[in-house]
Structure 1
Amino acid sequence: MDINKRVTEIFDELVHIRRDFHMNPELSQQEFRTQKKIQDYLNEWGIENYVCAETGVVGLINGKGSGKTVGIRADIDALPINEENNHSYCSLRVGAMHACGHDAHTTILLGIARIMKEMADSEDSINGNVKLFFQPAEETIGGAKRMVEEGCMLNPTVDYVLGLHVMPYIEAGMVELKYGKLNASTDSIKITLNGASAHGAYPDKGIDAIAMAGSVITSLQTVVSRNISPLNSVVISLGRISGGVKDNVIADEVKITGTLRALDDDTRNYVKQRIKEIVTNTANAYGGHSTVDFYDGYQALINNDEVVDVVKENAEKLLGKDNIVFKEFPSLGAEDFSYFSDEAKGAFFHLGCGNKEKGITSLIHTDTFDIDEECLKTGVLLQVENILSLFGR
């Protein structure tokens, strides 16, 4: 099959599919219409599929050879944003918009599914299996973890897994790659500081939890600047603080919440330990006491160099070296593709969707975000080639 020609032939249909998803966005854990549309397409093309993680879908394409099993992931949920664009295909739902490009990711995976199924049904077939992961709830609870826990990486066992994300700061027709660390792990932090209340006129009779909190907040800033190498990126951001009951009463309790971002588990665990030590010792010094709780978010996303090499080689062949850029530093943002790549060798890369000449420059998670739909071609073509390359490794 001439893959480039076939992608061009189905391009208009891909645009139609993407615009339909864009007009009908669904928030995390509410992706029921999206799920049905995905299953309708897979059923139409004769692709085995089943529901996973309640609103997600897993598809399976079996080849006739003895090659590897390659998984491809697309996230399908939208964001709680009102769209402010003026296109014929704008969101029809108040308070929901595909402002992160998941409609494009879903469409690209459907295009991949159609072409791989056609190849599997041809005389030459394909030398391996393809698993299709249409993942819900990337923007909230992390649907990837739920899919993995429900066995999506098994039967057959996935050997390699690939994912992508559209990025408007990169022009359509280009890709951005990175070896090694790409995205940070996430943990929520909850700190409770307890003192003793007293009349504001007699502060010596109490233990001021607000004064305690001030010292804790200041001291925690030194973890990154004094306990971590400046060459190792870590973020501790405290976003909320609450405490006290009245202006003239010494506060007996203050609660502080925030987020911790790190790029490897050793650093992640060390920073947690330091946070606990600083909070505990500061509270003790004031005569109070404290509790520190961490709530795990996403794992750090670390690309496998072997798989990145495959993507790089295919991108050079299909797009040209001038259309490949390498990300210099990892992002402290989160990406739950990491749950898939923790189970199999994986690579996640960025697909250019911007076009300065057309005015398509708005960043993701904004109410004017849009894509140059030519990126759909690039995404399908490159991922199909990546799958075929990985079959024989």
Structure 2
Amino acid sequence: MTATVPNQSSVNLSPIRADIRTLQPQLVEWRRHLHQHPELGFQEQLTAEFIARQLRNWGIDHQTNIAETGIVATIESRQPGPVLAIRADMDALPIQEENEVSYKSCHDGIMHACGHDGHTTIALGTAYYLSRHLPDFCGTIKLIFQPAEEGPGGAKPMIEAGVLKNPDVDGIIGLHLWNNLPLGTVGVRSGALMAAVELFECTLFGKGGHGAMPHQTVDAIVLGSQIVNALQAIVSRNVDPLDSAVVTVGSFHAGHTHNVIAGQATMKGTVRYFNPKFQGYFGKRIEEIVAGICQGQGAEYDLSYYSLYPPVINDESMANLVRSVAESVVETPAGVVPECQTMGGEDMSFFLQEVPGCYFFLGAANRDRGLAYPHHHPRFDFDETALGMGVEMFVRCVEKFCQPRPTSF
């Protein structure tokens, strides 16, 4: 299927101001350029050059090469006021694109399969609009173009590089184009939106031997199978049913042929949860289970466990601000989706640990146009009408958040 510029009559676009509707074709052009030239985390050189070139052309102050490829653009209004940051990730995934579109990835084995090309485009559109409408808000806007969200994580090194300082950020917002929601909807909630991401790798050392003589061996496959089953009991029997958590073993490798008992097995998995109280708990519990089963079977093990991202937890006041904006942009009540949690993870969480903020989902699926494949699918794509809606959401958040500071007497 060849994609075309979306039919803008498919959703109610009357809340989107004329200047942003006029910008829509340019947004589509930028997004398709970025989609065609995807880059992996901390390798976003072409992407960063494209962003910097646009900012330069518009006369917007910016810093480059932050945390390798990150960029921060700063837009100051004509009146003092608060500082709001807008964050957009810009990396792609190691996926071979299967879409047959004019803007298909030209980088073999790399694809924008999660919408980050759209996030970058929306932030660029917001920067352009705000730079031309300085009287419409007070204070300062920082636009953070972040590398490596898909891994190993660019948010933390950008924070360590000082992107939330000079001037100090008072609040932060970000969005994720979301194919789990239809075009014309916004998912926003206070509290936990996305889960913590923790990873583990384990190698089991048994004793191999003849398939007909198991008594002479310590079977690593049997050992690993017991561990996989036992790990499922952590959530079902150790975690309060009112809390949400997931323990998944996604990789299990052992053995090579029919009649040889494997002496070694490797497994990899992930843990997800919303409640920060579980930090440190699952790693400890998994090691207890692995150690106990290995001891009972006379085996040894090597376990690595590490935390990738904490949960994405939205500040209540910032979530209320985004919700009020969403209610003015999309048709309500059905257009605003309050219960939209996912066990997916995001390193926006690190920014939200530092300053009050809100991360929200912008519906981008259009099943009628075949644009509803899930994230990280080789045929992922989204309805580009969402680009203008995203710019409108960000601009209205700026106008509502960046009001004059109260004067003290």
* TM-score of the pair, normalised by structure 1: 0.90
Shift of 1:283: 1.6
Partner AA of 1:349 in structure 2: F
The residue number in structure 1 matching 2:69 is 55
Whether the 8 Å CA contact 2:16–2:388 is kept in 1: the answer is no
The residue number in structure 1 matching 2:106 is 92
Range with bigger deviation, 161-170 or 318-327: 318-327
Residue by residue over 1:114-150, the C-alpha shift from the partner in whole angstroms, topping out at 9 and shown as x without a partner, is 1222223xxx363211111111112221111221122
Partners of 1:285 and 1:170 lie apart in 2 by 48
The residue number in structure 2 matching 1:256 is 267
Partners of 2:111 and 2:90 lie apart in 1 by 12
Shift of 1:358: 3.2
Whether the 8 Å CA contact 2:187–2:339 is kept in 1: the answer is no
Partners of 2:146 and 2:367 lie apart in 1 by 30
Residue by residue over 1:297-325, the C-alpha shift from the partner in whole angstroms, topping out at 9 and shown as x without a partner, is 11111111111100111111233423533
Partner AA of 2:95 in structure 1: I
Shift of 1:28: 2.4
Residue by residue over 1:100-122, the C-alpha shift from the partner in whole angstroms, topping out at 9 and shown as x without a partner, is 211111111011111222223xx
Whether the 8 Å CA contact 2:84–2:142 is kept in 1: the answer is yes
1:145 to 129, 153, 156: 156
Range with bigger deviation, 356-365 or 52-61: 356-365
Shift of 1:90: 2.8
- 1:301 to 2:312 alignment: yes
The residue number in structure 2 matching 1:106 is 120
- 1:118 to 2:129 alignment: no
Say which SS state the counterpart of residue 57 (structure 1) adopts: strand
Whether the 8 Å CA contact 2:89–2:116 is kept in 1: the answer is yes
RMSD of Structure 2 on Structure 1 (CA): 2.4
The residue number in structure 2 matching 1:231 is 242
Alignment of 1:263-302 (within 5 A): 263-302=274-313
Shift of 1:250: 5.5
Partners of 2:354 and 2:170 lie apart in 1 by 9
Partners of 2:220 and 2:366 lie apart in 1 by 52
Whether the 8 Å CA contact 1:64–1:125 is kept in 2: the answer is no
- 1:214 to 2:228 alignment: no
Structure 2 unaligned spans of 5+:
1-14
Residue by residue over 1:240-265, the C-alpha shift from the partner in whole angstroms, topping out at 9 and shown as x without a partner, is 23345886665544332211111123
Question: Alpha carbons of 1:248 and 1:164: their partners in 2 closer, same or farther (altered >3 Å)?
Answer: same
Whether the 8 Å CA contact 2:323–2:336 is kept in 1: the answer is no
Alignment of 1:1-393 (within 5 A): 4-51=17-64, 52-120=66-134, 124=135, 126-196=137-207, 203-243=214-254, 251-322=262-333, 324-328=335-339, 330-392=341-403
Whether the 8 Å CA contact 2:200–2:304 is kept in 1: the answer is yes
Question: Alpha carbons of 1:243 and 1:42: their partners in 2 closer, same or farther (altered >3 Å)?
Answer: same
Identity %: 38
Shift of 1:36: 0.5
Shift of 1:81: 2.9
Say which SS state the counterpart of residue 59 (structure 1) adopts: strand
Whether the 8 Å CA contact 2:200–2:268 is kept in 1: the answer is yes
Whether the 8 Å CA contact 2:137–2:398 is kept in 1: the answer is no
Shift of 1:353: 1.7
Say which SS state the counterpart of residue 256 (structure 1) adopts: strand
Whether the 8 Å CA contact 2:114–2:376 is kept in 1: the answer is yes
Question: Alpha carbons of 1:279 and 1:174: their partners in 2 closer, same or farther (altered >3 Å)?
Answer: same
Shift of 1:86: 3.5
Question: Alpha carbons of 1:208 and 1:108: their partners in 2 closer, same or farther (altered >3 Å)?
Answer: same
Question: Alpha carbons of 1:82 and 1:293: their partners in 2 closer, same or farther (altered >3 Å)?
Answer: closer
What is the aligned length? 389
* TM-score of the pair, normalised by structure 2: 0.87
Partner AA of 1:223 in structure 2: I
Partners of 2:208 and 2:180 lie apart in 1 by 52
Shift of 1:364: 2.4
Question: Alpha carbons of 1:84 and 1:287: their partners in 2 closer, same or farther (altered >3 Å)?
Answer: closer
Residue by residue over 1:341-379, the C-alpha shift from the partner in whole angstroms, topping out at 9 and shown as x without a partner, is 111111111112223343332222223332222211111
Partners of 1:96 and 1:257 lie apart in 2 by 23
Say which SS state the counterpart of residue 339 (structure 2) adopts: coil
Say which SS state the counterpart of residue 22 (structure 1) adopts: helix
